[in-house]
Amino acid sequence: MINDVEITSLLTLLQELLHIGGPVVWILLGFSVIAVSIVLIKCWQLLLLSPESTTTAQKAIALWKQNEPDQALSQLKKTKPLDELLAMAMEGLRRAEITEQLLKEELQRVANLRLNQLRSYLRPLEVIASLSPLLGLLGTVIGMILAFQQMELAGSQVDPSVLSGGIWQALLTTAVGLGVAIPAVLAHNWLERKTERVAGLINDGVTQVFTHAPLTNNSPTKSADSFKNVA
**Alpha helices (H) in the chain, listed in sequence order:** 4-21, 23-49, 55-65, 69-75, 81-94, 100-119, 122-154, 160-211
Interval 162-174: pLDDT, tens: 666 667 777 888 9
Q: Is residue 191 in a domain?
A: yes
Mean pLDDT of the region 131-153: 83
Q: How many domains does the chain have?
A: 1
Q: What is the pTM of this model?
A: 0.79
Q: Is residue 88 in a domain?
A: yes
Q: Is residue 228 in a domain?
A: no
Residue 161 sits in which domain range?
24-42+54-211
Interval 74-102: pLDDT, tens: 999 988 999 999 999 999 988 877 888 89
Q: Is residue 222 in a domain?
A: no
Q: How far apart (Å, rounded) are the C-alpha atoms in residues 183 and 167?
A: 26
Residue 208 pLDDT: 92
Q: What's the pLDDT band for 212 if we cut at 50, 70, 90?
A: confident
Amino acid making up residue 121: Y
Q: Is residue 162 in a domain?
A: yes
- 129 burial via Cβ count (<10 Å: 0-12, 13-18, 19+): buried
156 vs 68, more confident: 68
Q: Is residue 87 in a domain?
A: yes
Interval 185-207: pLDDT, tens: 999 999 999 999 999 999 999 99
Q: Which helix (H) or strand (E) holds 53?
A: none
Residue 148 pLDDT: 76
Q: How far apart (Å, rounded) are the C-alpha atoms in residues 118 and 46?
A: 8
Q: Is residue 101 in a domain?
A: yes
